[in-house]
Structure 1
Amino acid sequence: MVKILLAEDNELNRDMLMRRLERRGYQVDIAMDGEEAIEKVRSHGPDLLLLDISLPILDGFEVARRIREDPQLCALPILGLSAHAMQGDRERALAAGCDDYDTKPVEMERLLDKIQLLLQAATRP
């Protein structure tokens, strides 16, 4: 079963995404801030990180940068999420180390497509 770490501090968004992903057969673990996200990436070894950009303690940009700098974690696919669809946010997320980026409110089919593409790319030799 594919393990997704969902780093999201907003309870409503977190619960909605977790339920929808679990219904699609994913095992979902939760992190509520950036520090917890990095700790759980290290300790739980998810297959993909679904990363809210506006996290407390460490924002998603910093989480992505730290993961990319760690040789043991750097291959983890990261999909950044943000409700702040400002011009340049996508580019900033990609520059920080996210593999892809999507906006909230989440359009679930588009998100699932992006998750599948990232997981497929991660399993290619």
Structure 2
Amino acid sequence: MAGSEISLDGSRVLIADDNEQNRELLDAYLADQNYEIMMAADGKETLAIVESNPPDLILLDIMMPRMSGYEVCEKLKSDPEKSRIPVLMVTALNEMGDIEKAVKSGCDDFLTKPVNQLELKTRVRSLLRVRHLANERDRLLAYLEEMEQQVLQSKG
């Protein structure tokens, strides 16, 4: 794969924000990227979507009803099956304490509102590439382990 461009087309991006206008804006900013966009209006809905149709990336607001973005992120990062889903916090909160709390909750990156479209696209693309490469590494490691077992069995 060295030297070749990673295709991110069809990557599943979950936009979780209680404000419909914010969800629509982020969706519009990413519209030309060929991602599959899913939306959630609160923390509990976010977790339900992650359970039923795991995304490749979550854009997560902090201030949401039923469960804050901090709580959602902590739950995801404490679950071994979901902990590798990148979380990009997108929030109006921009005090250093808010950023520190977001990082402690496990987020992978942080953007403050109002969001710059180029910055959003760049960070989303970067996090999706990391996710894709980690998945590819896991696939290759599983393949190598399988090949190793076959070699050991053929010698035994």
TM-score (ref. length: structure 1): 0.95
Q: Residues 67-114 of structure 1, C-alpha deviation per residue, up to 9 Å, x if partnerless? A: 011111111010001101112211211110100000001001011111
Deviation at 1:43, TM superposition (A): 0.6
Structure 2 unaligned segments of length 5 or more: list them: 1-9, 138-156
* Structure 1 spans left out of the alignment, 5+ residues: none
- Residues 27-66 of structure 1: CA distance to partner in whole angstroms, max 9, x if unpaired? 1100000000011011111110000011111000000000
The reply on whether 1:8 has 2:17 as its aligned counterpart is yes
Residue matched to 2:107 = 98
What code does the residue aligned with 1:110 have? E
Q: Distance in 2 between matches of 1:117 and 1:91?
A: 21
- C-alpha contact 2:29 2:121 (8 A) present in aligned 1: no
> Normalised by the size of structure 2, how large is the TM-score?
0.77
Cross-structure match for 1:38: 47
Counterpart CA distance in 1 for 2:75 and 2:109 is 17
Q: Identify the structure with the greater strand proportion.
A: 1
What code does the residue aligned with 2:66 have? I
CA distance in 1, matches of 2:60, 2:76: 12
More helix by share: 2
Q: 1:23 Cα shift?
A: 2.5
Q: Alignment partner of 1:98: what SS? A: coil
Give the count of matched residue pairs: 125
2:61 aligned residue: 52
Bigger-Rg structure (1/2):
2
